[in-house]
């Protein structure tokens, strides 16, 4: 069972693999991991990128460019394979690892609050309130991820369709 929201799918594109990679290279702003270069004004305002990330020889790891922070934006990992009439694009949409770590910590904290309240024999409200917050948090994560997944997939399909 998958604990975190994620999606996997295969897109069939009529474009050859070379054309898909050409389009990705044009639309993806290279990310410099562990660097302040991402925050610089290196690119002019005339350049428009749809995604941030890295594009390799056989695959890519990208995320959609957004105008304001979105913690539930999916990390899109893809692998492109040429086929006789086009290409197969294997896609995985997942939460960023840092978001998973934070949410895991949050869920464990809420569970611990509930278990401590139960062990101390407090009233049922102090035992169930953290559980209710936990369920509500999980629901919000799934709803927000699904929304960001649909937006990102729409842009990616428009790009490599």
Tens of pLDDT, residues 90-131: 999 999 988 889 988 988 998 898 888 888 887 888 888 888
Q: Which domains does the chain have, with CATH numbers?
A: 6-99+135-160 (3.30.530)
Residue 43, pLDDT score: 52
CB 92 within 8 A of CB 8: yes
- Measured CA to CA, the distance from residue 23 to residue 86 in angstroms comes to 15
Of all residues in the chain, what percent carry a pLDDT higher than 70?
89
**Torsion sign across C-alpha atoms 33, 38, 44, 47:** positive
Residue 40, pLDDT score: 46
| Strand 59-64 with 51-55, pairing | antiparallel
Give the mean pLDDT of 143-153: 93
User: Residue 53's CB: how many other CB atoms inside 10 A?
Assistant: 21
Which residues are paired to 9 by β-bridges?
91
Q: Sorting pLDDT into bands at 50, 70 and 90, what band is 1?
A: very low
């Amino acid at each position: 069972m998958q604990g975190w929201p994620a999606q996997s799918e295969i897109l069939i594109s009529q474009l050859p693999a070379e054309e898909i990679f050409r389009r990705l290279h044009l639309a993806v702003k290279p990310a410099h991991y562990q660097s302040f270069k991402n925050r610089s004004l290196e690119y002019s305002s005339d350049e428009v990128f749809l995604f941030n990330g890295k594009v390799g020889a056989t695959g890519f790891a990208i995320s959609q460019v957004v105008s304001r922070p979105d913690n539930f934006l999916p990390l899109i990992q893809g692998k492109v394979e040429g086929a006789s009439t086009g290409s197969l694009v294997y896609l995985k949409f997942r939460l960023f690892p840092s978001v998973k770590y934070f949410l895991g910590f949050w869920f464990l904290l809420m569970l611990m609050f509930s278990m401590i309240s139960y062990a101390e024999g407090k009233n049922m409200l102090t035992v169930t309130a953290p559980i209710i917050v936990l369920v509500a948090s999980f629901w919000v994560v799934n709803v927000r991820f699904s929304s960001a997944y649909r937006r990102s997939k729409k842009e990616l399909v428009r790009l490599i369709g």
